[in-house]
Amino acid sequence: MRDCVFLLADSNMKGAFEGFFSREAFYHSIGCGPFRFTASEDLVVAAGDNDPGLFTRGHELLRPYRQTHQYALVVLDAAWEGSPGAERIRQKVSTNLLESGWSQDRFHVVVIEPELETWIWQQNPHVATALGFDDVETLMADDLLARAWSAGQPKPSNPKETLETLLRKKRIPRSSAIYQKITSKVSVRQCQDASFLAMVEILRGWFPEVVP
Residue 77 and residue 94 in one domain: yes
Residue 62 and residue 20 in one domain: yes
Residue 67 and residue 81 in one domain: yes
Residue 113 and residue 10 in one domain: yes
pLDDT of residue 154: 84
Residue 27 and residue 101 in one domain: yes
- Nearest Cα residue to 203 out of 121, 107, 129: 107
- Nearest Cα residue to 120 out of 156, 172, 145: 156
How much is the pTM?
0.92
In this structure, are residues 99 and 171 in contact, taking their beta carbons and an 8 Å threshold? no
Residue 146 and residue 59 in one domain: no
- Nearest Cα residue to 8 out of 202, 199, 204: 199
| Number of domains present in the structure of the chain | 2
Packing angle, helices 86-99 and 50-62, rounded to 10 = 20
Residue 171 and residue 153 in one domain: yes
Asked whether residue 212 is domain-assigned, the answer is: no
Asked whether residue 211 is domain-assigned, the answer is: no
Residue 97 and residue 160 in one domain: no
pLDDT of residue 119: 93
**CATH number of the domain that residue 98 is part of:** 3.40.50
Asked whether residue 39 is domain-assigned, the answer is: yes
Domain membership of residue 162 as a residue range? 121-180
pLDDT of residue 212: 66
pLDDT tens string for the chain (212 positions)?
999 999 999 999 999 999 999 888 888 889 999 999 999 999 999 977 789 999 999 999 999 999 999 999 999 999 999 999 999 999 999 999 999 999 999 999 999 999 999 999 989 999 999 999 999 999 999 998 989 998 778 889 889 999 999 999 999 998 999 999 999 988 887 787 899 999 999 999 999 987 76
pLDDT of residue 187: 80
Asked whether residue 40 is domain-assigned, the answer is: yes
Q: How far apart are CA 133 and CA 130, in angstroms?
A: 7
Residue 141 and residue 98 in one domain: no
- Nearest Cα residue to 70 out of 60, 78, 62, 58: 62
Nearest 5°: CA angle at 8, between 126 and 107? 115
Residue 132 and residue 66 in one domain: no
pLDDT of residue 3: 97
Residue 62 and residue 104 in one domain: yes
pLDDT of residue 142: 93
Residue 107 and residue 42 in one domain: yes
